[in-house]
Amino acid sequence: MYAVILAGGGGTRLWPLSRPDRPKPFLPLLGERSLLRATFDRVLPALAGPEDVAVVVDRRHVALVRAELPEIPARNVLAEPVGRNTAAAVALAAVALERAGDEVMAVLPADHLVVDENGFRALLARAAAVARAADRPLVTLGIAPTGPETGYGYVVAGDPRAEAGAHAVRRFVEKPPADAAAALLAGPDAVAWNAGIFLWRRDAILDALEASAPDILAAVRAGVAAGAAALDAAYATVRATSIDYAVMEPASVAGRVAMLRADVGWSDLGSWAALRDALVARAVEAGEPAGAVGSGPRRDVGSEGTLVLAGERLVVTLGLRDTIVVDTPEALLVCAADRSQEVRAIAEELARAREDDS
């Protein structure tokens, strides 16, 4: 088994800390290590060595990967000329990394939290065994849902497979509204959150791309074969779409997708509220005050459910409830925790304004 870590996301929902020059995967949000480093450390014990880890990243951030993960070979840092979402990133890894066709490729986002790391590694081993089955399924890890979350996609399980704990996947549901998410959880089908963590044989994902996204695979193949300049030209023609839309959804209709449910303390840290919840859980487990969590020079009196990330100056909070405060040299964010998903729209609006000014 080898691992491909996808580190191309912009992390705009974590603005103003996540910025174009140092996006979310390279931030130490949960301690001293960056999220990318934590992902590498999490999976490495399940592999033979650092040479079995590759990272797909925006070309602008190759130096950041090299600084964070000096152990991995330079050839395993796959630079995308421009972001084209996860279908192109997976195709690039499947084509460019010369591994045996029957080897299992684990695909993992670079910026997630997993509390039970031993349990997660055991789950990866089980999922790899499923991926090696004779029918070569594409395997996804489904997270046990804790409520009708609208920020995640859902995986709807079908019939059990022969492998213990594995189910066929009936369909994928992309980020439903609250009422639809609640109906999914209340319905008769077993459902899980889609974590974007996949395992498959290399030959199986290449065949699936050929069947469902031949345009993406052909462009990437041509670019990889002809060198860096050709890859730039090829990526300019690639449509931007996720591996879920391009491959997993049609493959599930064809009965080619299997799922294992995961209950390992997972979060995608996809908003400031999600980071707050993760830090609150840590504080409670450690027996520390959890009313206002965060980092940096800060002082709080009587706040609840509040995240404070201070920068270079002291941040004082008094009696806040469910509030996010993020102080950086470039910008100060103060928002209600239940509206933290809207930060992305603000970040994108500001980016467009900068482009217009330039």
Q: Give the model's pLDDT for residue 228.
A: 86
Other CB atoms within a 10 A radius of the CB of residue 338 amount to 12
Domains in the chain: how many in total? 2
Q: Give the model's pLDDT for residue 2.
A: 97
CATH of the domain at 228: 3.90.550.10
Q: Categorize the per-residue pLDDT at 351 as very low, low, confident or very high, splitting at 50, 70 and 90.
A: confident
Tokens for 30?
A: 């949960």
Tell me how far apart the alpha carbons of residues 290 and 307 are, in angstroms, rounded to a whole number. Answer: 10
Let me know whether 135 and 226 are in one domain. Answer: yes
Q: Give the model's pLDDT for residue 146.
A: 87
Let me know whether 263 and 276 are in one domain. Answer: no
Q: Give the model's pLDDT for residue 356.
A: 80
Q: Categorize the per-residue pLDDT at 44 as very low, low, confident or very high, splitting at 50, 70 and 90.
A: very high
Tell me how far apart the alpha carbons of residues 136 and 141 are, in angstroms, rounded to a whole number. Answer: 16
Domain that holds residue 300: 272-357
Q: What is the mean pLDDT of residues 296-315?
A: 97
Let me know whether 171 and 200 are in one domain. Answer: yes
Let me know whether 186 and 310 are in one domain. Answer: no
Let me know whether 171 and 43 are in one domain. Answer: yes
Of 208, 238, 267, the last residue of a domain is 267
Let me know whether 220 and 322 are in one domain. Answer: no
Angle at 334 between CA 181 and CA 280, to 5 degrees: 60
Let me know whether 255 and 315 are in one domain. Answer: no
Is the pLDDT reported for residue 267 higher than 90?
yes
Of 218, 245, 267, the last residue of a domain is 267
Let me know whether 127 and 254 are in one domain. Answer: yes
Is the pLDDT reported for residue 358 higher than 70?
no
pTM reported for the whole predicted model: 0.95
Let me know whether 27 and 143 are in one domain. Answer: yes
Q: Give the model's pLDDT for residue 195.
A: 93
Is the pLDDT reported for residue 175 higher than 90?
no
Let me know whether 21 and 124 are in one domain. Answer: yes
DSSP code string of 14-49: GTTTSBTTB-GGGS-TTSSS-HHHHHHHHHGGGSS-
Let me know whether 263 and 315 are in one domain. Answer: no
Tokens for 118?
A: 């031993």
Q: What is the mean pLDDT of residues 21-29?
A: 95
Let me know whether 116 and 22 are in one domain. Answer: yes
What is the SS3 assignment for 261-329? EECCCEECCCCHHHHHHHHHHHHHHCCCCCCEEEECCEEEECCECEEEECCCCCEEEECCECEEEEECC
pLDDT digits (tens, 9 = 90+) for 85-111: 999 999 999 999 999 999 999 999 999
Is the pLDDT reported for residue 341 higher than 70?
yes
Of 241, 267, 293, the last residue of a domain is 267
